Copies of this chain bind each other. A is one copy, B any other.
Amino acid sequence: MVSIRDVAKHAGVAISTVSKVLNNYPNVSEETRIKVNESVKELNFLPNSVAAALSSKQAGRIALLINLNTRTQAIDEIDMRYLSGAINKAAELGLDVNTLFFSMFEGKTEEEIVRYLYSQSIGGIIIYGLSKNDEVLQSVLQSQIFKSVVVDAPIVNENTSCVSIDQEQAQYDVARKTVLDNKCKSILYIAGKKNGYVTEERIKGIRRLAEEMELDLLIREGDFSERMARKIAFDCARKKDVIVCASDLMAIGAMRALMEMDIFRPVCGFDGITLMGYAGKQMNTVRQGFAEISEAAVEELHYLLNGGEGRKLTLDYSIVRMQYLDIIC
């Protein structure tokens, strides 16, 4: 295994000089910089990230904290895209990644969690799927011990950024398109989980639309569950012209109910997951680029780790019509 020492010897300079070149420090002459870089290439040197982490004390190691959805298991797709987006981007930026699940911290205190992260020499974390009920993780964020990026939850402080699409506007847009396409006068809105940050934003969006277009609006809580959405649709769909759902999964549930009741109502969803293809219908949905969101989160964490200050980032989305052939081909 070729180490930084070998490179130094080969280039005829000191170890620290090599280190400076590798980490793009200023005080190195262009001449030696080139010499070192050549040696690096010739020897195929790749710095040992473990040693680097130990030495520089938590600089390039980050943790991905994922809230695996064990109840509604069908939406692994979202977590998987988050994961692969983050891991790929991290590799690109030279960050080491540690994937962790919320379940590993169940019943643990804030102190225990912090200690564990310390023991892994972790300097920054990205949190996916945080809800208001995760008090312990919330206080880890508040403590600001780690640089953090929160996906889809509005938490910002000096060391914490948040990344998300504009949920309010997206819900407004997709619902508006569906309403206009079908000339509706009343809406059944099946909302998400009670304490979800995202849920509230989306409700604001649908409320704004209803006001602007003077639509009759009925809101029910679907808890992001297909089954619940199905039940709600059974109970309320007849009375309304269109069904707007806060997730694709719930949209599937609603469509099931409509098919069983043998009535037609336009339905729209939210997320743009592939699973949609299996419902056998087509509909409007908000396509969130989960991988892209995750990549942005890693970049943002990288920025924080390099001294940046916490901020709120808003990403783009698009309204698309999903249909069977789009997906399977």
Contact = CB atoms under 8 A, between A and B. Distances in A.
Nearest to A77: B76
A100 interface: yes
Interface of chain A: mostly helix, strand, loop or mixed: helix
A283 interface: no
Interface string A302-329: 0000000000000000000000000111
Interface residues of A, number: 51
Interface string A86-129: 01100100001111110110000001000110111100000000
A44 B115 contact: yes
Interface string A226-260: 11000000000000000000000000100010000
Interface stretch (A32-40, A45-53, A167-175): A45-53
A61 interface: yes
Contact of A76 (B80, B97, B280): B80
A74 interface: yes
A99 B97 contact: yes
Contact of A74 (B46, B116, B227, B274): B274
A83 interface: yes
A17 interface: no
A86 to B, nearest CB: 10
Interface string A123-159: 0000000000000000000000000000000000000
A101 B87 CA distance: 9
A273 B61 CA distance: 34
Chain A to chain B: the 6 pairs with minimum beta-carbon distance, closest first: A76-B80, A46-B119, A50-B121, A278-B278, A73-B274, A76-B76
